[in-house]
Structure 1
Amino acid sequence: MAKNKNSLPSAPFFCLLILFLAFNSWAQEEEATALISPVKITSDQMEADKNKGTVVFKGNVVVRQEEGIIMSELLTVYYNEKSEMEKIIAEGDVRINQNDRVGTCQLATYRLEGKSIVMEGDPRIWRGGDVVEGETITIFMDSDRMIVEGGARAVIHKKEDSKNAPEPLADSEGQ
């Protein structure tokens, strides 16, 4: 079972990081570097179930890759019968930090088919002092497109005024 944990591909986790914060394009060089960097996942508990096609990380989940961090209370990775990853769901106080970008919500679902992520439960995305929020934020990685539904709100500041970014993430390893 531990073999499943170590064999998780890094690309979907990187995509999860990018998709939350994708309202700005990323340089191809940064993306290529992040795709090959290892993913480190820590949690209080991990349970892999080959019959259900899931790997569940519970309690104080921290997904760390060179370019960013995802924190949540629960992270579930779903596989199909060919052991191919289908979707990743992060639940409970989801927080993502990617360089100067921060995203928060209660539930984030990344689907590999269609390469989309849906943020629900008070979703917000910040960059500096700028913020986008609504009831649901859907980001489409392939087309650099974002849809905010249910009371879409955005606050955009002049560059010199946008210094009110949320606090960077801190975890037990000091990052």
Structure 2
Amino acid sequence: MKLVFRFISIFLLFSCLGFAENRVQITSNELTYDVNKRISIFKGDVDAIYDNSTIKSDLMYVYLDDLNKPSKIVCKGNVKIIKDNMTALADNAVFDIKEDILVLEGDVKIWQNKNYLEGDKVTYYNKEKRVEVKNNDKGKVKIIFIPENNQN
């Protein structure tokens, strides 16, 4: 019975996320759901697949608010996000659902078509359609931009 409750909770959790219109499939080596702390923890070789997107990481934490709706998703270790023609790699990712902000940290690399962006921290403010790229003391950020008509 507890196992069924976990699966139902996970289904409801990801169906509440605005980015998941269709079926969500999550696989991992372990899953812990804590009702009192309002958190689901996926450990080991985590794959979350929904619509045309995939998130991979070593760990994924999904935090719920007081209404049991997802408020934040934290991915740690070997994060890879694939959506359409975009691929992002990072050590860690935090998606603040309420604020609609995605933060990628640690050796961030993003490819979209032939365009490329690199930095230590990339923050995407979805509501504002604004991106900030920063590097710690490792040097400069890097971007390679090829205009659309030259993408061939």
Q: Indicate the TM-score class for this superposition, using the shorter chain for normalisation.
A: 0.7 to 0.9
Which residue in the other structure is 2:48 paired with? Answer: 63
Give the gaps of 5 or more residues in structure 1. 15-34, 164-175
Aligned to 1:157: 146
Distance in 1 (CA, whole Å) between partners of 2:103 and 2:27 is 23
Scaled by the length of structure 1, the TM-score of the pair is 0.74
Give the TM-score taking structure 2 as reference length.
Answer: 0.85
Q: Percent of pairs identical after alignment?
A: 25
Greater helix fraction, Structure 1 or Structure 2 = 1
**Whose RCO is larger (CA < 8 A, sep 6+)?**
1
**Greater Rg over alpha carbons, structure:** 2
- Equivalenced residues, count: 143
Q: What's the offset of the Cα at 1:107?
A: 0.4
Output the aligned Cα RMSD. Answer: 1.9
In the alignment, structure 1 residue 80 sits paired with structure 2 residue 65: yes
Partner residue, 1:17: none
**How far, CA to CA, are the matches of 1:101 and 1:59 in structure 2?**
24
Letter in 2 for 1:157: I
Does the alignment pair 1:99 with 2:84?
Answer: yes
> Which residue pairs with 2:12 in the alignment?
7
* Shift, 1:135, TM fit: 1.4
Structure 2 unaligned blocks of 5 or more: none
More strand by share: 2
Any conservation in 1 of the 2:15–2:21 contact (CA below 8 Å)? yes
